[in-house]
Copies of this chain bind each other. A is one copy, B any other.
Amino acid sequence: MWTYKTPGIPDDLFLQSDNVPGPTKEEIRALTISKARLKEGFYVIDVGCGTGGLTIEAALQVGYKGRVFAIDEDDEAVKLTISNAEKFDAQDIVKVLKGKAPEALADLPMVDVVIIGGTKGLEEIIPVAYTKLKEHGRIVVNAILLETGFRALDAIKKAGFTEIDVTQINVAKGKNIDGGTMMLARNPITVISATKA
């Protein structure tokens, strides 16, 4: 299906649904996975998995000794992430949970990385994410709202994370049209990452 080792699976390889957000665009997935700093065998939580784009990318990095716990409160997102896990042969690595964060994190084991793509409840989710992270564990938040960038950064500071990195990305993609290559902009994203000391 996708035999390369590097993140950044083309968007159109994922099963998609009009009712489920995602997948996170391939360039942003590549960058998010980079900021997550993964190793084989790592345990990862993906909060608000949507289509499962980041879940699958993380799964391909951590491999069969690792686990990715994907959480979403939407039934269709849960099903879609499961389908994508199967499509990419990652069904033994990915565990999809229907539930609402931060409550849904309660029963999960300690993990190496928490990825948060969603926009709601960051103030509650980030402190709980901190408690679920092992020492030197990483958190990565993808913010698409002006307010989320601010709130995520504030919550990450208050939770006690260190090595905080704020990266705003504007991507434009070339599209072949009559006459040349039109540059089509993608919405800007703020990626905030940090380490549990």
Contacts and interface: CB of A to CB of B under 8 A. Distances in A.
B181 A153 contact: yes
28 contacts: A4-B39, A6-B34, A6-B37, A8-B31, A8-B34, A8-B35, A8-B37, A26-B34, A27-B31, A30-B34, A31-B31, A119-B179, A144-B182, A145-B181, A145-B182, A146-B183, A147-B150, A147-B181, A148-B180, A150-B150, A165-B173, A168-B174, A169-B169, A169-B171, A172-B188, A182-B187, A183-B187, A185-B187
Contacts of A96: none
Contacts of A26: 34
Nearest to A63: B5
A49 interface: no
A180 B145 contact: yes
A61 B4 CA distance: 10
Nearest to A148: B180
A33 B31 CA distance: 10
Contact of A7 (B6, B119, B164): B6
B145 A183 contact: yes
A177 B144 CA distance: 11
A177 B148 CA distance: 12
Contacts of A182: 144-145, 187
A3 interface: yes
B7 A34 contact: yes
A13 interface: no
Contacts of A146: 149-150, 153, 166, 174, 180-181, 183, 190
A144 B27 contact: no
Nearest to A4: B37
